[in-house]
Amino acid sequence: MSDKFDVIVIGGGPAGYHAAIRAAQLGLKTAVIDAFVGKDGKQALGGTCLNVGCIPSKALLDSSKQFYNLAHNLPAHGISVENAKVDLKTFIGRKEKIVKQFTGGVAQLFKANKITSYFGTGKLLGRDKSGGNAVEITGNDGEKQTISATNVILASGSVPIELPFAKFDNKFIIDNAGALELDAVPKRLGVIGAGVIGLELGSVWRRLGAEVTVLEALPDFLGTADADIAKVASKEFGKLGLNIKLGAKLTKAEVKKSEVQLTYNDKDGDHDIVVDKLLVAVGRRAYTDGLLAEDSGVKLDERGRIIVDEHCHTGVDGVWAVGDAVRGPMLAHKGFEEGMAVAEWIAGKAGHVNYDTIPWVIYTEPEIAWAGKTEKQLKEEGIPYKVGSFPFAAIGRAVAMNEAIGQVKMIAHAETDRILGVHMVGPGVSELIAECVVAMEFKGSAEDMARIIHAHPTLSEAVHEAALSVDKRAIHKGN
Ligand code: FAD
Ligand code: NAD
């Protein structure tokens, strides 16, 4: 036994590193084990989010938006640029620099907080003689050692789901990591799944000129979003040139002569298409391979997720689990909050995670954001509600930006006026959703929001007007 800790965290992604830093802040002797290997062969902390998820995808979304705007937004401002080109090496290189900056930043935070960092794979063995939980580390050099802690936090994250008939070869059939580092813009890009990754990364390559065909198995577009918001988004993605086919299930994908030949099935039968690259983005699964000794006592559900209670406790003394590896949405900020809450519960404090106000953001153009319930959910639950909405077309700032697309929709309880959900599509909504989450967290009403002063002219006036509209008193539209 080489060392004894108060807390060992297995997994240094968003959920794990937040847990570790908060535990260290609370005076607990903390270690993190993470296996992620960066491009230089060294440890790269930050998990999926910093290495191949949130941050690199947003870097490419922002770069590709700048390029797309040159031809599609700036001319309306009287600005024209001829022969604009993308240097893909710089485009991808910028993203890689950002990734390195942030993964290195986590390593520095660990140092500053006196967290011991191990590079390798952790396996929960179970109780040891000292009454703690033993964890075996297999270093990336193959060396094994065992350490122990009173508390172990499992934060092993998730990996992309692989379709048995379209296995990743990382050359033609790619996952999110592959789609973040193509060395040329594919002429034809196929995307399986019109979910968050399909729409974000499909947009990146479409904006650079790829012909993008998205096959979505479900008949409805963005079924988890509010139907009005999904309708606007679908129209805008059509204008961008994303060719989204709904109710289209991939049945075969074969790589032949440097092309991928696809067969999909929809209500009209079988269809064949050929693409140069195929991005498979049909969801992610919790990753627990090699994480648990057979007799660790930790249980998995039917989808392979670690079973936990409402306090992220596994039921095994001193063993907790957080982030993508457990139930709930697979979002970095959900993992942040669970990680910090578990550290606080371990330290005897009052941790807190409100699963009802987790915001969702899709960083496409226009952006999509929501928190709380949709109209469909409220109808199913028999909860009486009233709706207010306001279009960005009537917001001076949005028109001045030439981005007057979309709307804010607010749903409040019909009797108490409490805000139950806010749904948005349009410019800057990734930021606008935050004030709605605050209002919902404080159990605010539409009336509260309507009485709060919003600066003029800003995009946030759309939130204010939507709140006024709940009570049929929006100023800049008919009610
Ligand atoms: P992960 O980030 O997956 O980290 C787990 C870490 O544990 C990894 O480093 C892994 O190598 C390591 N590990 C696993 N098993 C072991 C073991 N046995 N021993 C040691 N180490 C181990 N979410 C958002 O909120 N906003 C976004 O904009 C967003 N964009 C995304 C874009 C893409 C392309 C993808 C793929 C995901 C995106 N997500 C986004 C989701 C987000 O990345 C995840 O929800 C988040 O990373 C989950 O955090 P986590 O700590 O639970 O797991
Ligand atoms: P997703 O669940 O968002 O979407 C997957 C889509 O694929 C679904 O619409 C599903 O119906 C479809 N699908 C499944 N099997 C199919 C098949 N055989 N043929 C055609 N379509 C099929 O999953 P994702 O896009 O892979 O992303 C995974 C997770 O990563 C997201 O759920 C989200 O939690 C996280 N993420 C978040 C962000 C963000 O917050 N902006 C960005 C990217 C990823």
Domains and CATH numbers, the chain: 4-159+285-353 (3.50.50.60), 173-282 (3.50.50.60), 359-470 (3.30.390.30)
- The pLDDT-based confidence of 194 (bands split at 50, 70, 90) is very high
Among residues 411, 414, 407, the alpha carbon closest in space to that of 432 is found at 407
- Which pTM does this prediction carry? 0.97
In sequence order, what are the residues at sequence separation of 6 or more whose Cβ sits closer than 8 angstroms to the Cβ of residue 105?
none
Q: Does position 396 have pLDDT exceeding 90, yes or no?
A: yes
| pLDDT given at position 2 | 53
Distance CA 93, CA 265 (A): 38
Distance CA 440, CA 422 (A): 9
Residue 315 DSSP label: S
Q: What is the mean pLDDT of residues 118-129?
A: 95
Distance CA 193, CA 259 (A): 19
Q: Does position 181 have pLDDT exceeding 60, yes or no?
A: yes
413-to-216, 455, 468 alpha-carbon distances in Å:
33, 26, 14
φ, ψ of residue 152 to 5 degrees: the values are -120, 130
Q: What is the mean pLDDT of residues 72-77?
A: 95
Quick check: CB of 249 below 6 Å from ligand 2?
yes
- What sign does the CA torsion over 469, 474, 477, 479 have? positive
Q: How many CB atoms lie within 10 A of CB 243?
A: 16
Q: Return the best residue to mutate from 17, 22, 45, 49 for the ligand 1 pocket (most ligand atoms within 8 A of CB).
A: 49
Q: How far is the CA of 284 from the centre of ligand 2 (A)?
A: 7
| pLDDT given at position 3 | 83
What amino acid occupies position 384? P
Residue matched to tokens 């309708």: 231
Q: What is the mean pLDDT of residues 50-79?
A: 97
Question: Is 313 labeled as catalytic in the residue annotation?
Answer: no
Among residues 239, 250, 242, the alpha carbon closest in space to that of 216 is found at 250
Residue matched to tokens 């790619």: 174
Strands 249-256 and 259-266: antiparallel
Q: What is the mean pLDDT of residues 204-232?
A: 97
Range in 1-10, 160-169, 406-415, 465-474 the model is least confident about: 1-10
Distance CA 121, CA 119 (A): 7
286-332, pLDDT tens digit by residue?
999 999 999 999 999 999 999 999 999 999 999 999 999 999 999 99
Q: What is the mean pLDDT of residues 168-174?
A: 97
Contact predicate 54/31, CB 8 Å: no
Quick check: CB of 330 below 6 Å from ligand 1?
yes
- Percentage of residues of the chain with pLDDT beyond 90: 98
Q: Return the best residue to mutate from 54, 140, 205, 322 for the ligand 1 pocket (most ligand atoms within 8 A of CB).
A: 54
